[in-house]
Amino acid sequence: MAIQLSAEQFESIRSHGVREYPNECCGMLLGRTDGEAKEVSEVVALRNLRHDPARAEELLPLEDPGRESEKNRFLIDPLEQLRVERDARERGLDVLGYYHSHPDHPARPSNYDREHAWPWYSYVILSVEQGEASEMTSWVLSEDRARFDAELLKL
């Protein structure tokens, strides 16, 4: 499977990552699957709930708060996620995946990313180096959840 983004969608993820730097940005990718490709029709920017540490801790406590923060963790509000999913379904769109940024880190999934991912969905990662958008990659979790495989990101 490959994931297809328009130049405009590609730019909107990059600018979201730059806007949120040095924190992680996150969002959802909606669209349709056409044979072997996931065709993105909408990029939905979401709020990183880690900006609200008290609420985030209630939902998903950090294992190592000294080392983890909104700078290297993102958390999507489950209510917001449900709302986006429901709204997408009503318009005949599917959730194809999620995106987030890695401020000053490579565009490769972390162990944390793997532990909080589901198979089939695309996980797009944008590296933001010193405030500038850098490499963007896409990953799919293997069925046994053991590893992420790189996915072709088409523009």
Query: Using the rule CB under 5 A, is 113 a contact of Zn ion?
Result: yes
Provide, rounded to whole angstroms, the least separation between the CB of residue 54 and Zn ion: 22
Count of residues that bind Zn ion according to CB under 5 A? 2
Nearest residue (CB) to Zn ion, 39 versus 129: 129
Under the binding rule (CB under 5 A), the answer on residue 70 touching Zn ion is: no
**Number of H helices and number of E strands within the chain?**
4, 7
Output the residue with the shortest Cβ distance to Zn ion: 113
Which helix or strand (DSSP H or E) is residue 53 part of? helix 53-59
Q: Is the dihedral of CA 101, 38, 31, 56 positive or negative?
A: negative
Tell me: does residue 20 bind Zn ion (CB under 5 A). no
24 exposed, middle or buried (CB, 10 Å; 0-12, 13-18, 19+)?
buried
Q: Which amino acid, 96?
A: L
CB of 24 to Zn ion, least distance (A): 7
Query: Please, what is the minimum distance in Å from the beta carbon of residue 113 to Zn ion?
Result: 4
Residues in the site for Zn ion, rule: CB under 5 A?
110, 113
